[in-house]
Amino acid sequence: MPWVNQEMCTGCGICVRECPVDAMEQQADGRALIREDECIRCGKCHDVCPRNAVRHDSERIPLEVAQNLQWVQTLLKNFSTQEEQAAFMERMGRYFKKQIKVGERTLEVVSQAKSDFSGVLDAAMRALRIPENH
């Protein structure tokens, strides 16, 4: 998922005009923003930006880790005793391990697809007994 580094963006608007699904907007100061729920991940904004301000998703890993830690810290406040806190941290550990497994298994299917991509995804979903438009 691309994102716009606000410090590097000059607000030229090129990416906003080039986005094929209108998933980008210019803020009051002109700088671009991606509406993540509308982005189809085509990468065009990254390719056309003259300032290299549209950045790769991997650069956000530290930020997303920090957001996770902040979330855990917020929830932790609901538990007062050492035992409750330890049990909570264990549950959160299980939750993050599950997230890793979901990512790994999804990646397995995605990287198996060399052609007929949609067919490979349909077959994998059938194997998991999940309806295609679930």
33 binds ligand SF4, rule: CB under 6 A: no
15 and 43 Cβ atoms separated by less than 8 Å: no
Q: How many residues does the chain have?
A: 134
Site for ligand SF4, residues 39 to 98, rule: CB under 6 A: 39-45, 49, 51, 53-54
Q: How many CB atoms lie within 10 A of CB 127?
A: 9
**Residue that is written with structure tokens 């264990």 in the block:** 90
Kindly state the smallest distance separating residue 26's Cβ from ligand SF4, in Å. 7
Q: How many CB atoms lie within 10 A of CB 79?
A: 14
Site for ligand SF4, residues 10 to 29, rule: CB under 6 A: 10-15, 19, 21, 23-24
Summarize as ranges the residues that interact with ligand SF4 (CB under 6 A).
2, 4, 9-15, 19, 21, 23-24, 32, 34, 39-45, 49, 51, 53-54
